[in-house]
Amino acid sequence: MTPSGAEFVRQVKSAVDEVDPTQVHEVLWDPDVAIIDVRESDEVAAGKLPGAVHVPRGFLESRIDGAVGDRAKRVVLYCASGNRSALAARTLKEDLGYERVESMTGGYTLWKDRGYEVDVPRSLTAEQRERYSRHILINEVGIDGQLKLIDSKVLLIGAGALGSPNALYLAAAGVGTLGIVDDDVVDLSNLQRQVVHGTATIGVPKVESAAQRINDLNPEVTVVQHQQRLEADTVLELFRQYDVIVDGTDNFPTRYLINDAAVRLGKPVVSAAILGFEAQLSVFDTAHDGPCYRCLFPTPPPAELAPSCGANGVLGVLPGTAGLLQATEVIKLIIEQGDSLRGRLLMYDALAAEMREVKVRRDPECPVCSRDPASISDEEMGVFPDYEAFCAAAG
């Protein structure tokens, strides 16, 4: 005879290992123990065990490996009362091969009754849950990753060809604050590739035009307009306000200024360059032992080897490709997932439909990143060379 639902749960609980909340409290912060909350999102929003990882029972099979990783690791599951966690424990042990799985007796209800501490996590509003629902479904993003995006501050240097796709897709992804640095106005010739702007904003400052489009796309994003050129005397004060710097410039003096300021402050720079049918992309992050821009280009190449887009042109869709790759790297840095392009240069040839990659190593003799920023005096910190003269001499 088929057992009733209650009888089936009793049979399952008798077959799995159970652990008392007191015992779980003793190992709450043990790095060798993974504590998994298998309740639904609305339950977790009201509170959870400190340090617990949320893996809803309905997504257990697809997400548990990302949450635990090692199937030999001790795993403690809990729900509201101990029933769902017992069923989940059986699944992990019998179907997925986890070796040390336990269900917490009495679940979250008994934990609270014992007076143990609880963590009431930040949550998303109903509108945010709908807007970012496809992100939340991704194990590597989820609610925690989305909250990191909402809390993040990204600075775009340039609201042109590369800045356009970055602005649109980072705003759509939910980056909370986007700063935009640009002193130019929208021109008709921009519209072939600078898709954040439109015919209606010709003659309007680019930072204002971009802000209008971003606010329409995602009103939750705070857009900070810096209608100015990037200058050596204000760059450090500006960069300190942001977590990630996106280099969308098209001239070497500004690129070197961005690099040198970011190295001094330990800020990551996601950099791209485009020309004709070709694009290059890398992440310069010396705070995590990566190389800087000067390790790759100690001096700028001669002008004939690196003409501007204004002189040689650029395929209109190419900055979209390169800019979206940049935006992807920015998001990965913010949510701390995946392998970034730190220490790698990605080269894309649109005509050949080919991508190549070369390693970029940190130069122990680099005049900028080989020096510990902590050793730079306050007087030196804000002093930068004349980059226009430096690039002119190299050219």
| CB-based contact 218:130 (threshold 8 Å) | no
Distance between CA atoms of 306 and 252, rounded to whole angstroms? 10
What share of residues in the chain are helix, strand, coil (percent, to 5)?
45, 20, 40
Q: Which of 79, 295, 309, 366 is catalytic?
A: 309
Q: What is the DSSP letter of 41?
A: H
What sign for the dihedral angle of Cα 374, 377, 381, 387? negative
Q: Which helix (H) or strand (E) holds 180?
A: strand 177-181
Spacing of C-alpha 118 from chain mean position = 28
- Contact yes or no for 269/247 (Cβ under 8 A): yes
Sheet order of strands, 244-247 included: 222-226, 177-181, 153-157, 244-247, 269-275, 278-284, 344-349, 354-359
Cβ contacts of 11 within 8 Å, gap of 6 or more: 3
Helix (H) or strand (E) holding 284: strand 278-284
Query: Which three-class secondary structure string do you get for 78-126?
Result: ECCCCHHHHHHHHHHHHHCCCCEEEEECCHHHHHHHCCCCCECCCCCCH
Euclidean distance between CA atoms 185 and 9, whole angstroms: 67
Q: From CA 165, how far away is CA 196, in angstroms rounded?
A: 7
33 CB contacts (<8 Å, ≥6 apart)? Answer: 27, 73, 74, 75, 76
Rg (CA), the chain: 26
- Pairing label, strands 74-78, 100-104: parallel
Q: Known catalytic residue: 309?
A: yes
Instruction: Kindly list the catalytic residues.
Output: 309
